[in-house]
Structure 1
Amino acid sequence: EDQAACCQISVRRREPGLEEDEEWLILCSTQFLTGHYWALFDGHGGPDAAIIASNYLHYCIKQKLEEVVGGITEAQPPMHLSGRCVCDSDPQFVEEKHIHAADLVVGALENAFQECDEVIGQEMEATNQTGGCTALAALYFQGKLYVANAGDSRAIIVLKDNIIPMSSEFTPESERQRIQHLAFLFPKLLDDEFTRFEFPRRLKGDDVGQKVLYRDYFMEGWGYKTVEKADLKYPLVHGHGKQARLLGTLAVSRGLGDHQLKVIDTNIEVKPFLSCIPKVNVFDFALHDIKEDDVLIMATDGLWDVLCNDEVACVVRSFLAENRTDPQRFSELAKCLVCRARGKKRGHQWMLDDSHEASYDDISVFVIPLHNREED
């Protein structure tokens, strides 16, 4: 159910006033902006959504970048892509909003994820397939690295003496407030089967009339409420950590697909609570002195379930230092990280070196060198 993709993305600069056919006739290399793309997709409920996403997301990104490329190439994005200036203060308004070229790339990635999600929904419905996937994509474009994440995969940059997290996991627990707020706005989505309130445990009949700890969508802290019969319904977000489930069904709160997914034995759709919009983080190479062994690590949750950022960084630094002359060292490092998370078989179990249980999930890893970007 894990899928991966990487490719070069060429974005066409559109010449004003040219028809589409004419534009193709006079294309040359200077009319392209080139980006580099990597992505990991972790499927659930079958591999179909992950396969469609791996074949299509990069096309959506290219398309969305081409729609805004006229703004990306300007020092300051113009209010009108046509070059018109309806209001003399347009440049000032753009400046006051702090809109830069990087914001257009971020917006293109967000729009691309949404379009890809729609395509997956149409394709899955047409072929009577089900399932979804998380999506973690990295785009190197015009001197910046953009990492877009929808799900619980993770990306980190490992520098010589620093670790820079480039994504954050989206789980029912981390997005509790967004999910509860949606239930508050549209209570019919719960079909009278679930309660939006969070309690430390699922309530029982004897709790009715008692004052118990709870949280609502607007609360970071906790309060007490008097339990009513309606509070005995199944919690919207149930469990803790990796065991937390959205509507008792999914362990992630963002991802692509799952348009047909319903809570078992009900008519409740999971998709309204499952966002396809990624969080995009930007790394500007101009602000950092990149060394030869600095890398971007992208991996599905199978790696991060058993290894923390510091442990991964430790493996990265020691491996690269010991294998400086190996031309395949980045690929070999990816294999090393997979093997470290998979552990070794002891009897009937797979164990890590520290005797903790190893990962039983799918594990996919990219190791992407950040040095010599223009030369290689």
Structure 2
Amino acid sequence: MSSDWFKRRFLSSRSAAGRGQEAAQEPQWQEREGRQLLPLPYRRPKFLRGVSCSEERQSGKRPVRCPPRDRPLQWNTGYAEVINAQKSEFNEDQATCCQISIRKKDYGKEDDQEWLILCSTEYLTGYYWALFDGHGGPEAAIMASNYLHYCIKQKLEDVVRSITEDCPPMHLNGQCVCQSDPQFVEEKQIRQEDIVIGALEKAFQECDEVIGQEMEASNQSGGCTALAALYLQGKLYVANAGDSRALLVRKQSIIPLSTEFTPETERQRIQHLAFIYPKLLADEFTRFEFPRRLKGDDVGQKVLYRDYSMQGWGYKTVEKDDLKYPLIHGHGKQARLLGTLAVSRGLGDHQLKVIETVVEVKPFLSCLPKVEIFDLMVQNIKEDDVLIMATDGLWDVLSNEDVAQVVRRFLEENKTDPYRFSELAKCLVWKARGRKDGYYWTLANNTPASYDDISVFVIPLHNKDEKLGLCF
């Protein structure tokens, strides 16, 4: 579908009439220092209720923000966030937490309905949490936080008949054109959850395309990562595109439920795109990877290298073009992509800024999310089993083991606190933010704290059906 719904829902109603002081303070379309303002008003997640833009800009202060206690999130989910240490004017993280009411598709009716206020369980109800980490500004993250769950709802409604049957039918209308259709589906081992995964993948693709269109139309660059969790029919689906992370913490184990995207993990895909579209390299970069940047003395020598088709390494004779700046170099989190700090591919990352050159990247560079499934119906879920979702501001300074240790100790010491999951989210943010020591922020062990935006969800998995909370 086109972005018409998005434009009608979020871009056409910019009048402040009847919206009070909050609307009057929202930035409108205008030029500021040569840069267009974001097409959507900058604000914090709706469920924070009351955090103003002016509070974000308090120089040098990094207060931890949480939802009000009288408006709990679904499942009594805990949430906390803190802005970066003056790295950017705005907090570039965004978050969404809501129910998704999935109804039978009634074709022929207008699909642009204000479904966010409809929380009936007429057919299926899903529960959704998502984090978005903006790059190059908060614009793409704001759009994704407003739009991705709508895309997911729509894609699930398109296939709702298949995800409510034990064996998905070959034809969506239930017809059996070939008597062997059920057998072919069984041989391919296609299950209900595969249909849900496909819906999530298609939703990410559509959301990415819409963001790309809107960013291009408003002459803006940047993008965002996306980490989304969907609970549906007893299963938890975690879809990730970027370097945020989801971690299931249990009493005796930790289970990673997301795979991070980094220039190193995405190396072959990026190199392949550079091979297909060499103009993206602006004749300044080489797509080949070498252990180090080559020098003039290497010309004519056989050196280690690898290309998009290679998992291993080989040798090639160095040519003059190989002396150009490498597309990817370094390792892991600190790997660099096109000379800039690693920016994991995610929703709306349609441009890469290369030193002084801007290389335009079309939507074909967008990648599908990686989806992990955790079946709560077959697991023996305990009271203190929680899913931790957080942006990279947390994981940059705390390991999985560090987080698990904090979680277990905190929940053991606060068994009777009705707000303990919210307080745990706050505790994790505090741990990663550290304290200000003069100009610097440091952890308890005097090592550098996180200077990035930090956003954390703590989602309790025990007795989930008794903790529905509010719908937004």
Q: Does 1:40 align with 2:131?
A: yes
TM-score by length of structure 2 reads 0.74
Counterparts of 1:61-76 in structure 2, within 5 Å, are 61-76=152-167
TM-score by length of structure 1 reads 0.93
Counterparts of 1:197-346 in structure 2, within 5 Å, are 197-249=288-340, 251-261=342-352, 263-266=354-357, 268-271=359-362, 274-346=365-437
C-alpha contact (below 8 Å) 1:6/1:39 kept by paired residues: yes
Letter in 2 for 1:84: Q
Q: Does 1:184 align with 2:240?
A: no
Q: Report the Cα offset of residue 240 of structure 1.
A: 3.0
C-alpha contact (below 8 Å) 2:349/2:366 kept by paired residues: no
Please give the alpha-carbon distance, in whole angstroms, between the structure 1 residues aligned to 2:352 and 2:317. Answer: 34
Q: Report the Cα offset of residue 38 of structure 1.
A: 0.3
Cα distance change on mapping 1:92 and 1:136 into 2, 3 Å: same
Cα distance change on mapping 1:366 and 1:30 into 2, 3 Å: closer
Please give the alpha-carbon distance, in whole angstroms, between the structure 1 residues aligned to 2:438 and 2:167. Answer: 62
Please give the alpha-carbon distance, in whole angstroms, between the structure 2 residues aligned to 1:181 and 1:287. Answer: 40
Cα distance change on mapping 1:185 and 1:264 into 2, 3 Å: same
Question: Mind listing any 5+ residue stretches in structure 1 that lack a counterpart?
Answer: none
C-alpha contact (below 8 Å) 2:223/2:346 kept by paired residues: yes
Please give the alpha-carbon distance, in whole angstroms, between the structure 2 residues aligned to 1:151 and 1:73. Answer: 30
Task: Between 221-230 and 237-246, report the one with greater CA deviation.
Answer: 237-246
C-alpha contact (below 8 Å) 1:208/1:226 kept by paired residues: yes
Aligned length: 370
C-alpha contact (below 8 Å) 2:352/2:358 kept by paired residues: no
Higher relative contact order (CA 8 A, sep 6+): 2
The secondary structure found in structure 1 opposite 2:454 is: coil
Q: Does 1:117 align with 2:212?
A: no
From 169, 175, 178, the equivalent of 1:87 is: 178
**1:299-342 superposed Cα distances (whole Å, 9 cap, x missing partner):** 00010011110110000000000011111100110010011111
Please give the alpha-carbon distance, in whole angstroms, between the structure 2 residues aligned to 1:222 and 1:75. Answer: 46
Task: Between 308-317 and 237-246, report the one with greater CA deviation.
Answer: 237-246
Q: Report the Cα offset of residue 262 of structure 1.
A: 5.0
Question: Mind listing any 5+ residue stretches in structure 2 that lack a counterpart?
Answer: 1-91, 468-472
What is aligned with 1:174?
265
Cα distance change on mapping 1:186 and 1:28 into 2, 3 Å: closer
* Percent identity (aligned): 78
Please give the alpha-carbon distance, in whole angstroms, between the structure 1 residues aligned to 2:306 and 2:412. Answer: 49
Q: Report the Cα offset of residue 29 of structure 1.
A: 5.2
Letter in 2 for 1:91: P
C-alpha contact (below 8 Å) 2:384/2:462 kept by paired residues: yes
C-alpha contact (below 8 Å) 1:262/1:270 kept by paired residues: no
Please give the alpha-carbon distance, in whole angstroms, between the structure 2 residues aligned to 1:250 and 1:110. Answer: 27
Please give the alpha-carbon distance, in whole angstroms, between the structure 1 residues aligned to 2:217 and 2:399. Answer: 41
What is aligned with 1:351?
442
C-alpha contact (below 8 Å) 1:261/1:271 kept by paired residues: no
C-alpha contact (below 8 Å) 1:196/1:216 kept by paired residues: yes
Q: Report the Cα offset of residue 265 of structure 1.
A: 4.0
Cα distance change on mapping 1:267 and 1:160 into 2, 3 Å: closer
What is aligned with 1:142?
233
Alignment RMSD: 2.1
Q: Does 1:57 align with 2:148?
A: yes
C-alpha contact (below 8 Å) 1:117/1:276 kept by paired residues: no
Please give the alpha-carbon distance, in whole angstroms, between the structure 1 residues aligned to 2:212 and 2:276. Answer: 24
Letter in 1 for 2:310: M
Cα distance change on mapping 1:268 and 1:131 into 2, 3 Å: closer
Task: Between 82-91 and 349-358, report the one with greater CA deviation.
Answer: 349-358
Letter in 1 for 2:218: T
**1:252-281 superposed Cα distances (whole Å, 9 cap, x missing partner):** 332111335553444632446742421010
Q: Report the Cα offset of residue 222 of structure 1.
A: 2.3
**1:127-164 superposed Cα distances (whole Å, 9 cap, x missing partner):** 33322111000000000000000100000100111111
The secondary structure found in structure 2 opposite 1:41 is: strand
Please give the alpha-carbon distance, in whole angstroms, between the structure 2 residues aligned to 1:141 and 1:176. Answer: 33
What is aligned with 2:187?
96
The secondary structure found in structure 2 opposite 1:139 is: strand
Q: Report the Cα offset of residue 236 of structure 1.
A: 1.1
Letter in 1 for 2:454: I
Letter in 1 for 2:285: F
C-alpha contact (below 8 Å) 1:150/1:278 kept by paired residues: yes
Letter in 2 for 1:193: E
Letter in 2 for 1:199: F
Please give the alpha-carbon distance, in whole angstroms, between the structure 1 residues aligned to 2:119 and 2:210. Answer: 31
Q: Report the Cα offset of residue 13 of structure 1.
A: 2.1
Letter in 2 for 1:201: R
